[in-house]
Structure 1
Amino acid sequence: MSKKHEHGFGIDIGGSGIKGAPVDLATGRLAGERVRIPTPQPSTPEAVAATVAEILDDFGWKGSFGCTFPAVVQHGVTRTAANVDDSWVDCDAASVLRKVTGRDTVLVNDADAAGVAEVEFGAAGAKSGVVLLATLGTGIGTAVIAHGRLVPNTELGHVELDGYDAETRAADSARERDGLGWEEWGERLTRYFRHVENLLWPDLIVVGGGVSKKFDKWSPYVSTRTPMVPAKLLNEAGIIGAALLAHR
């Protein structure tokens, strides 16, 4: 008889929706159908925490859980706020979540959670050395995992490049805004990734975000010295990574 796998729980908070599910920590797969509830408006910490509690209650989850958030998170305090209410800035968000849900939580930046999941269960394949995850969407989120350990809150989408905040030129939203073809966008991505390579010298670059599904269309136009692969876990990466970090 096989040993029962241990489960964790992950919540992924976004500007439009809050998603959650139990996670099989041995396989990195969801252990139940994901639940998504629209992010309350206004998206204050208390209102969002109440929605998180609703998802946990829906699954009957009583233990601690991991939770992602679109911000820099230092020791449970959200220092920034992207696409959510400004009241999150410098909020002791972990304490709010703990008080409202009645459960212990580990709060982590959303890109960081996705990076941990991709290294453990996804595209990075437990790659040794330094792995850079970059999500190309409205902005550029980044995660750095060095020898299996997360270096949190790197925010490398905001490096200055040619006088611009890099994500304003190289994010997928910039491609759409400027009407760029894949080749033109690839040139911008090449400029961005080569700059980051010179800062980090990673061993692998994993590209996430919705555009990773079209990796074959634009990647031929991106030239880096570092091997580059598309993310595998897609929309489930944040939930999986959060659950894993909470377990650890």
Structure 2
Amino acid sequence: MSAAIGIDIGGTGIKAALVDLDKGALIGDRHKVSTPDGGEPDDVVQAAVDLLTEIEDIDDSMPVGVCFPAVVQGGRTMSAANVSDAWIGLEAEQLFEGALGRDIHFVNDADAAGFAEARYGAAKDVAGLVIMTTLGTGIGTALINDGALVPNAELGHLEIDGVDWETVASNSAREREELSWSEWAERLQRFYSQLERYFSPERFVVGGGVSKHHDEFLPLLDLQTEIVPAAMRNNAGIIGAAALAGLPKGR
């Protein structure tokens, strides 16, 4: 069995686990802490270090993947979604590597989730374009074309009627405004209809913690495109980050 460690950093929580790379499944428990208030770099990195110490049966030779809610270019975080603006332009990969004491694979969180679904889950073996969406603190998106990841698609920030749509259609917006499933579905309908109009995908895959309740809202959407829940639900980021870290160098 080949294994790697995945750490998924979000605006609300930070999760980590050991991952079986052959099966695309967690080994043992998933460990989670709340994202430190303010999402400042040093605090978030320390939380990741602390989580790593809680994972059993790991050694220094295991690959580590870290996914993060930002555009990631050359190891730098070029945006900051639901974390401190201090991340913008930061050499974040180096920061994590120094604190963790090992090399890591550093990637956008939605891209990690999309890679996991393309390799093991609901986007596997789908010809053409699949759009992965993660509904959580914000809305993350990943583009997978014929199984290949196209990185850093920030479609959750699509403007509709002059509004950054993740601010009104994310799962945190649903919870904050105490929207019913049908009220939330109306907002999601506008979002997915726009993506459908612009990209004509073969399939939408919906992840994030709320995807476990997919029966409550996905049937309310009226789309030409097939829309399905993520196979790995809210573990997709952990699994994808670990799987990317476990790829042979140069791939």
- Superposed CA deviations along residues 138-182 of structure 1, whole A, max 9, x for unmatched, are 321111111111111111011122222222333233444555433
Contact 2:7 2:15 in 1 (8 A): yes
Residue aligning to 1:147 = 146
**Is 1:28 aligned with 2:24?**
yes
Q: Which moved more, 1:233-242 or 1:215-224?
A: 215-224
Q: Which amino acid aligns with 1:71?
A: A
CA deviation profile, 1:106-133 (whole Å, cap 9, x unmatched): 1111111111112222222332221111
Q: Normalising to structure 1: TM-score of the pair?
A: 0.88
| Equivalent residues in 2 for 1:10-29, closer than 5 Å | 10-29=6-25
* C-alpha spacing 1:181/1:13, structure 2 compared with 1 (3 Å): closer
- Give the 4+ runs in structure 1 shifted more than 6 A: none
SS in 1 for 2:28: coil
For the 8 Å contact 1:46–1:100, the answer to whether it is kept is: no
Runs of 5+ in structure 1 lacking a partner? none
Query: In 2, distance between residues paired with 1:166 and 1:84?
Result: 18
8 Å CA contact 1:56, 1:62 repeated in 2: no
Q: Which moved more, 1:105-114 or 1:209-218?
A: 209-218
Distance in 2 separating the partners of 1:235 and 1:187: 23
Alpha-carbon distance between aligned partners in 1 of 2:32 and 2:168, rounded to the nearest angstrom: 31
Q: Separation in 2 of the partners of 1:70 and 1:185?
A: 23
SS in 2 for 1:33: strand
Deviation by residue 1:173-221 (Cα, 9 ceiling, x = unmatched):
3444555433343233222211111221111101112332222222222
Q: Does 2:230 correspond to 1:231?
A: yes
- Report how far residue 16 of structure 1 moved: 4.0
Amino acid at match of 1:182: W
Unaligned 5+ runs, structure 2: none
Could you tell me the TM-score, scaled by structure 2's length? 0.87
> Aligned pair count?
244
3-state SS of the aligned residue for 1:242? helix
* 2:5 partner SS: strand
Residue 50 (structure 1) aligned to one of 46, 50, 58: 46
Q: In structure 1, what is the equivalent of residue 169 of structure 2?
A: 170
- Deviates most, 212-221 or 91-100: 212-221
Question: Identity rate of aligned residues, in percent?
Answer: 50
Going from structure 1 to structure 2, the CA distance change for 1:191 and 1:25 (only over 3 Å counts) comes to same
Task: From the superposition, tell whether residues 168 and 38 of structure 1 become closer, same or farther in structure 2 (CA, over 3 Å).
Answer: closer
The amino acid across from 2:97 in the alignment is: R
Deviations 1:2-57 (A, max 9, x none): xxx11111111233432212111110011232222444456433343333333334
Q: Which residue of 1 aligns with 2:221?
A: 222
1:193 is matched with which residue? 192
Q: 1:126 to 1:179 in 2, by over 3 A?
A: same
Aligned to 1:116: 115
